[in-house]
Chains A and B, each alone.
Chain A
Amino acid sequence: MTTTATKTTEGVLTARRPLGKRIYRFLRSIPTWFLWILVILWTVPTFSLFVNSFRTRDAQRASGFWNALSDNANGYDFPTLDNYRDVLFPDVGAGVGNALLNSASIAIVATIIPIAIAAFAAYAFAWIDFRGREWLFIATVALLAVPSQVALIPLLSAYSNGVAWTIPVLEKTVTLFPDMDLSGEIPSVWLTHTGFAMPFAIFLLHNYIAGLPKDLFESAAIDGADHFKVFWRLVLPLSVPVLAAFAIFQFLWTWNDYLIALTMIGGNRANLPGTIVVASLAGEFGAREHLLTAGAFVITIGPLIVFFLLQRFFVRGITAGSVKG
């Protein structure tokens, strides 16, 4: 961004004093340094976690992560995998390994269900004509802004007691949703995530599907393809990029989720996902504090891999719709 500015002002300055020009140019490059200083500042925290996770408990307590390389000289073992062993395996320590399986179970299923359901709806909103379509779409997507907190209490009681409705005048009770003892179980988290994901998923997929070329649908209609065939044979294959974008977004969201799992699974330790187990390690000061680093890194590494491998899709998922191109 500095090129033109230096050119114009340079023109004035060069004629007068070469030293001044050099200083001026040096100072004008400060913004570029600022970028890289920010980048370093942004990376140090994650890096420090990574380094500390390979240090022993005593080393972590005795000095900061920047001293890691002198650990061996100070009588500590570095790098060591003990923290990882202690944090992953239940017989030794925190049992985050088991929690990771729960996280995977939650995230995989809670990613697949919404994709399918939202793709149907996005297609309907984009290419099936019916009365009130625009309004229904706007109403659905407007729910994007609703904080999930407003739904937690009724949902939890629905999962733990079912939903029954007593018809006012007649005094008869009808069961609308059976009591299936879902609270504390993983399926309750699936259902909740699916519902909460709907507005964003429909919004994202609709943006893409509605942008597919109209000719495609017209020629398909001339060939006698109905909506189902068009959706199955045409729209789904063409939408793979946006489906991938949503899948990555939703996977990270559900894997990283804390609130919904904490509310719906609550006290059932065996079913808790990684985020909650690690957070509870953070709650107990002292004793197992050194395991926090390894624990946090273990729950972070999956998202980081997904992030680095599929960043392009993730970025697309985030930017879609917010920028009119």
Chain B
Amino acid sequence: MSILRSAAVVLLCAGVGQYLLAMATPRLIMEALHRTVGERYGHNTLNVAHTPDASSRDVVRPSPDLIYGVCAYDLTDGPVAISADVPRRYWSMQFYQMNTNNFAGFTNKRGGETGAGETFKVTLVGPAHRATDHSGTVVRSPTDRGVMLLRASAIGDSDITRTAVQRSTCEAVGKQDQGVKS
């Protein structure tokens, strides 16, 4: 009887447990990515990766035809300002919250929000901030932390595109203001 009861408890808990594991998995993986990027390059800063090859292990399925710029943001102390030079080739700016949801995105193709040669500026605010305090394009992140990913096509003359991505910035608003004053 005791064995039967134990087996029933195991089965019941495992049935519920698989959903708890499924809910935890994206968050655990995003936490690991956020921590890795943060430890290596710092939070609220843009890092432009080298062209992916067989040694790339940070993210699964990297594309060798794309230039990636990543910013692990943390809005606990206030908004983050993102400024991006938009190249002629395909370009996109995508925002991911900590459960992997792609909650906002912009592109320069197919009637996208911006065009080649422009500097696209976004103020990224946390769930508790008042979006009305900021002008221009304001994106509200559902979580204080998350990841912003720039993707740009590496096809053709990739040096021009890479330069545009490397000129882009992702900085805490206060830090950016200090930079202007100094």
Partners in one complex: no
